[in-house]
Amino acid sequence: MDLGRQLADALRRLRKEAGLTQTEMARWLGISQPTLNRLETARQNTTLRTLTQLCLALRCKLGDLLDGRVSVKVARRRRSQDR
C-alpha cells in the first residue's frame, strides 16, 4: 500500500472514530474540508506543511499516523492537557 492510501485510511478511520463530519475534522486539523476530502480519498498528495499540521493537531509522529497507532481519544486528551 502506498503512503497516500495509508494516510487516507488513517484520516478516515480517525474521523469516523471521533464521530465527526469532514468539516468538523478539517476545522480541528487546521485544513480545509475540500483538502481533507481529497486526502481521505487519496486524490491529493499532501505537502510536508500539511503533514506537519496533521501531526501537530493529532499530537503524534508521522509514523504513528501512517501505522494506525494514533487515536482521536489520545489526541484529544493530549490537546486538553495543553490548555
Domain 3-81: which topology? 434 Repressor (Amino-terminal Domain) (1.10.260)
Taking only the tens place, the pLDDT of each residue in 4-16 is 898 899 888 888 8
70 or 23: which leads in pLDDT: 23
pLDDT of residue 62: 86
Convert the pLDDT of each residue in 16-33 to its tens digit. Answer: 888 889 999 899 888 899
| Cα 71 to Cα 17: distance, rounded to the nearest angstrom | 8
Give the integer Cα–Cα distance in Å for 75 and 4: 21
HEC profile of the chain: CCHHHHHHHHHHHHHHHHCCCHHHHHHHHCCCHHHHHHHHCCCCCCCHHHHHHHHHHHCCCHHHHHHCCCCHHHHHHHHHHCC
pLDDT digits (tens, 9 = 90+) for 31-43: 899 999 999 999 9
- pTM, 2 dp: 0.75
